[in-house]
Amino acid sequence: MWKDWIRPFVRPLPQWSTVAIAPTSRAVTATLHGDDASVDVTADHTVASLKPLVIATSVDAGERPLLEYTDSTTQRLLGVLHLVRMAPVTTDKASISLYQVEGGEHYCLSWLRRSWNAWLQNRLMLKSRAPHHLAMDPSAVQQLMTAYLHPRPVVLVSLDAPGHQNIFPMDLIGPLERSGLFSLALRSTNVSEPVMREVRQVALSSIPAAMKNVVYKLSEHHKQPLSDWNALPFPVRTSREFGIPAVSSALHIRELAVLHSQTIGSHTFFLCRIASDEDLAEGLQLHHTAGFHQAYRRKRNMPFAEV
Ligand SMILES: Cc1cc2nc3c(=O)[nH]c(=O)nc-3n(C[C@H](O)[C@H](O)[C@H](O)COP(=O)(O)O)c2cc1C
């Protein structure tokens, strides 16, 4: 159809693609190239802040490392981020390196289509900027999309404190493998942020892909707390040690004890110890990846299942 042919010229790819992936999948490998060595950080890096865009890892890779994302099957380079070291986060348990993203590019599309698609996406971002939103610079959003070449799992985070209960989606989360810690980056304006700093306990439910619509609806709870656990459109079960209501149909429930929290730009970065880890069901988990990554995979007849 002529419309399919013309679409890439007039309409940008979506920034994000919501996909169904096995929690153990390692479709993309992340490697940090530092001064002395290259280290696999697939399970050891996460986003710590969006504005500025900051990556956290338990690896110290020197002053100006490169973070590369490669397709684990074909070994093709998908994208790269140029990083600059910031002051680390230091606790009595670990020192976590922070790197501000200074530049980046992806190689999922041909040069011409990449530049044109970025121009269309950036134009749309500038046009649809709402004043109360976190207005990231379009070039930083392009770099964030590159960080999402490594698909990010979506969880529902729940907390239950006297006078305050809540459950909301997060994907700026992840293990910092070598430190044994797990991190969460939560916008400092989130209504539960002060409570999380105070009670220091949360439960993370790994969400089956089929629950996408319910999860997106719960993003309203970034702004307002939950009035009643019984009002949720799915059953809950209490987490093993902390007794926090979590999602009964979760693939996995992880309890986190917050060891340290600090503000990094627009976000509060929580460093946590995993207090319990329950595997409940097999299945595909909701993930986010970059739209250009899904386009790359579709062209090669290996798209992630879209939800
Ligand atoms: C699937 C999903 C994952 C999200 N992950 C995070 C997250 O990790 N950290 C965060 O601070 N906000 C997260 N959010 C919240 C949104 O980014 C946004 O802050 C929230 O919806 C409020 O929007 P606004 O303040 O820009 O209007 C997530 C939302 C959704 C739907």
Sequential pLDDT tens for the chain (307 residues): 656 666 667 789 999 999 999 998 899 999 999 988 999 999 999 999 999 999 999 999 999 999 999 999 999 999 999 999 999 999 888 999 999 999 999 999 999 999 999 999 999 999 887 766 678 999 999 999 999 999 999 999 999 999 999 999 999 999 999 999 999 999 999 999 999 999 999 999 999 999 999 999 999 999 999 999 999 999 999 999 999 999 999 999 999 999 999 999 999 999 999 999 999 999 999 999 999 999 999 999 999 999 9
Does any ligand 1 atom lie closer than 6 A to the CB of residue 224? no
What is the position in ligand 1's atom list of the atom closest to the CA of 133? 26
Neighbour-count burial for 281-300, b at 16+ CB within 10 Å, e otherwise: eebbbbbbbbbbbbbbbeee
pLDDT the model gives residue 201? 98
Domains annotated for the chain, with CATH where assigned, are 24-150 (2.30.110), 152-286 (2.30.110.10)
pLDDT the model gives residue 134? 79
Q: Distance from the CA of 90 to the center of ligand 1, in angstroms?
A: 26
pLDDT the model gives residue 131? 65
Q: Distance from the CA of 169 to the center of ligand 1, in angstroms?
A: 7
Q: Distance from the CA of 220 to the center of ligand 1, in angstroms?
A: 9
Q: Distance from the CA of 215 to the center of ligand 1, in angstroms?
A: 11
Q: Distance from the CA of 148 to the center of ligand 1, in angstroms?
A: 15
pLDDT the model gives residue 132? 60
pLDDT the model gives residue 178? 97
Question: Among 171, 190, 268, which is best to mutate for testing ligand 1, by the most ligand atoms less than 8 A from CB?
Answer: 171
Q: Distance from the CA of 170 to the center of ligand 1, in angstroms?
A: 7
Rounded Cα gap, residues 46 and 191, in angstroms? 22
Q: Which protein residue's CA is at the shortest distance from atom 27 of ligand 1?
A: 133
Beginning with the edge strand found earlier in the chain, give each strand of the sheet holding 16-21 in spatial order.
152-153, 285-290, 16-21, 305-306
pLDDT the model gives residue 47? 98
Does any ligand 1 atom lie closer than 6 A to the CB of residue 219? yes
Q: Which protein residue's CA is at the shortest distance from atom 9 of ligand 1?
A: 186
